[in-house]
A = this chain, B = another copy of it.
């Protein structure tokens, strides 16, 4: 058996998310179904990140074991030929048998897009979070810096999530504005459930003046989800890269 690593891009608009669910179309299921067609084997595809409904990916990673003798780098073409056009395998490669796409990940990078103008550009309707009121980008940048480093991010985790440790390290967070589009790039060793979207919702509330940029340390300190901002829309989120 060989262990094959896939790097995957998708438009999450028409899916319930990465993970298989009853009665809903998932990315995982579409790719597994295509692998079955290609190899004739039932496979279990292990995804690095369980992206939610509507979330997009430029660099999702997954792996599976196969007895097929298709060359590793040809798998991408074979699988793509059986996939819907909103999912594409960008790379396929042979990895060590011990490689596990989720457990071996040492970091992730997300991009989040905010469309900031009163009237939404229809070309961005499924690909950004529409914030129609003015945002103070300088205040958002000041606030963003407080997230850097190692913190207990309990306040930035969806309520009722369960996880062993709520401590995570943010390596980098950068905001750039290009006309109506604000792009936030955030890199860390890992993220709690909904953490990026709650950080973005909090930054938006800083930008609108509802929260002070200097309130972030207190919010982190509180470890209370209610003190942080809202959960920003899934459709603005892109899983950009996974580090190993």
Residues of A at under 8 Å CB distance from B? 9-11, 56, 58, 76, 80, 85-90, 119-123, 125, 127
Contact = CB atoms under 8 A, between A and B. Distances in A.
Contact of A11 (B11, B87, B119, B122): B122
A89 B121 CA distance: 9
A125 B86 contact: yes
A8 B90 CA distance: 35
Contacts of A87: 122
26 contacts: A9-B121, A9-B122, A9-B123, A10-B122, A11-B122, A11-B123, A11-B125, A56-B123, A58-B121, A58-B123, A76-B119, A80-B119, A85-B120, A85-B122, A85-B125, A86-B122, A86-B125, A87-B122, A88-B119, A88-B120, A88-B121, A88-B122, A89-B119, A90-B119, A90-B121, A123-B127
A71 to B, nearest CB: 16
Contacts of A122: 9-11, 85-88
Contacts of A9: 121-123
Given A9-B121, A88-B122, A123-B127, 12 more contacts: A9-B122, A9-B123, A10-B122, A11-B122, A56-B123, A76-B119, A80-B119, A88-B119, A88-B120, A89-B119, A90-B119, A90-B121
Contacts of A121: 9, 58, 88, 90
Contacts of A89: 119
6 closest pairs, A vs B, by CB? A86-B122, A88-B122, A11-B122, A11-B123, A85-B125, A9-B121
